A and B are shown apart, each in its own frame.
Chain A
Amino acid sequence: MSAKALIDHVKEATGAVEREEVTPQGQVALHVTPANWHVVAEHLRRCPRCNFSMFNWLSAVDMEDDGFEVIAHLYSASSLQAVNLKTMVPREGGSVPTLTGLWRGASFHERECWEMFGIDFAGHPHLVKLLLAEPFVGNPLRKEFVLMTREAKEWPGAKEPE
């Protein structure tokens, strides 16, 4: 299934795709609303034509004022097709339904995303810190989280090539 065919199929089947994106390198992204996140994901997982059986990774990107873009990267081992499922959540109080019911592997990725960005994954059974130490405060991958060492002292090796 080509990228185009996939996008058309998902659009048609779910009717929940806001917009699609194909990069010059041919990578596919489907943008959905947080409310439709689980619906589209479930279709991608269960539909025999899509058959995205592999949960590759899930993360987010800090888009500053737009909020956070949550990305789930799925892969189909049968059609060798990859798709990025994307949704935008607000900076504060953002919540996305969990995908742990669809792919077992989503659990760790969502925990990581939760602690790194502070995005809630509604329905996740075990949303606790994964990588950070227990006393750690803050969400490191948010842009407002500054690296104190760098604030205190600029890296002495910073030099532009001439």
Chain B
Amino acid sequence: MAGREGAGVAVSDPTMLPGGPGEGIALDVAGSSRFATEEMILNIGPQHPSTHGVLRMVITLDGELIIDAEPVIGYMHRGFEKMAEVRDYRQIIALVNRHDWLSAFGNELGVVLGVEALMEIEVPERAQWIRTLLAEWNRVLNHLMFMGSFGLELGAMTPMFYAFREREEIQGLLEAATGGRMHFTYNRIGGLKEDLPRGFLKESSRLAKVVRHRLGDYEGLLLGNEIFKKRTVGIGKLPAAVALEYGCTGPILQAAGVAEDSRKTEPYLKYSEVDFEVPVGENGDSFDRFWVLYRRIEESLKIVEQCHDKIPAGPIMPGKMPKNIKPPEGWIYSRTENSLGETGYYIVSRGGKEPWRMKMRTPSFSNVSMIPYLLRGVLVPDLISVLGSVFFVVGDVDR
């Protein structure tokens, strides 16, 4: 990592100070004259099975010990923020579906909530409840994917298939409502595209039971598995203070022991009216991160089940909506607790039908920027355990 010399630099690279979990180990080994070994630079990615996507890691190795690691990102940089400036708000809903492709619903939610707040539109009760319901289903979808892929990276292939067994059913459910398997584009400024199809709630509550029941499979295959524990417990410990400095949110921060979740701390939609917990880890290691993910699925299912009982009848769009969506001049930072953490949209409007500027604050970006901290001083096989538990979606990192 450059910046190590830092000549004439007032502030040295903070990621180098004061060490990661393996502080000192690397220096002792590499610096010893008796056992002087040659460092090896290993380039992992951008296309590598473990990076689930196109992240590149440049790691410096001493044997199998990682001395330094630098994530090289941008391989999925598609210029969302620039493109948002030339698209109107309707099109942006479809666009933002695609940056965190595993939680498309949560993304569009962030945008519409921001624009609605700017325009001071009152969203009908029913639409809000449906949004809450689908956002939680989307969270389950996302977390299932990561539960599967983490297992796969540690060599357990079956959880992945089980995860997709459930995912297919949930995707089918969401497809019935929204018409999309992954990219829903179901939200509109002010409400929803259309009402839920007949029988949706019945199917949804059946599915919630099924998924809750099948969570036991993951518990048996991963959480309760001795080898899995050996690979994850105590690996990649992240202190809460560091997690905050890097802006980590969601499961990563919660695993580090901070119960920060904007569904609780700054409730939007109907989260203040449902009962759920924010799971908090103890050690902030890979196992805790995974455990938090697992618990979040349970909590999401709990919210889903409460939504079934509470969805009122009524319209899904406000009665009077302007033809053209032109928010008044001003700015807003709309933040939602998306599947992987805080997804925020800083929208600057100059009264046009396109935003003047839309900054996307994505959880994966912050999570990835923290990776070098975790990796220093761990072994190459633990790289997988660490990378897999720092949940990120590459599109969400690079935007």
Contacts and interface: CB of A to CB of B under 8 A. Distances in A.
* Chains A and B directly touch (beta carbon < 8 Å): yes
Interface residues of B, number: 54
Interface string A39-56: 000000000000001111
Given A101-B10, A128-B2, A53 B241 contact: yes
A126 B13 contact: yes
A71 B86 CA distance: 22
A67 to B, nearest CB: 14
28 contacts: A23-B332, A25-B332, A54-B247, A55-B246, A57-B346, A61-B356, A77-B244, A77-B260, A80-B266, A82-B333, A98-B11, A103-B246, A104-B370, A105-B369, A107-B369, A108-B369, A116-B81, A123-B11, A125-B2, A126-B3, A130-B73, A131-B74, A131-B398, A140-B79, A141-B81, A147-B82, A147-B86, A162-B323
B242 interface: yes
B357 to A, nearest CB: 5
Given A73-B361, A103-B14, A145 B82 contact: yes
Given A105-B369, A126-B2, A61 B348 contact: yes
Contacts of A162: 323
Interface of B: 1-3, 6, 9-15, 73-74, 77, 79, 81-83, 86, 117-118, 120, 241-242, 244-247, 258, 260, 265-266, 323-324, 330-333, 342, 344, 346, 348, 356-357, 359, 361, 365-366, 368-370, 373, 398-399
Interface residues of A, number: 46
A14 interface: no
Given A23-B330, A71-B359, A132-B74, 13 more contacts: A27-B333, A55-B247, A56-B247, A57-B247, A73-B346, A73-B361, A80-B265, A103-B246, A105-B366, A128-B2, A133-B74, A140-B82, A141-B82
A33 to B, nearest CB: 19
A123 B344 contact: no
B74 A59 contact: no
Q: Which of A71, A73, A98, A131 has the most CB of B within 10 A?
A: A131
A135 interface: no
A129 B117 CA distance: 35
A56 B357 contact: no
B126 to A, nearest CB: 23
Interface string A111-150: 0000010000001011011111100000011000101001
B14 A101 contact: yes
B86 A25 contact: no
Contacts of A36: none
A84 B361 CA distance: 13
A57 B361 contact: yes
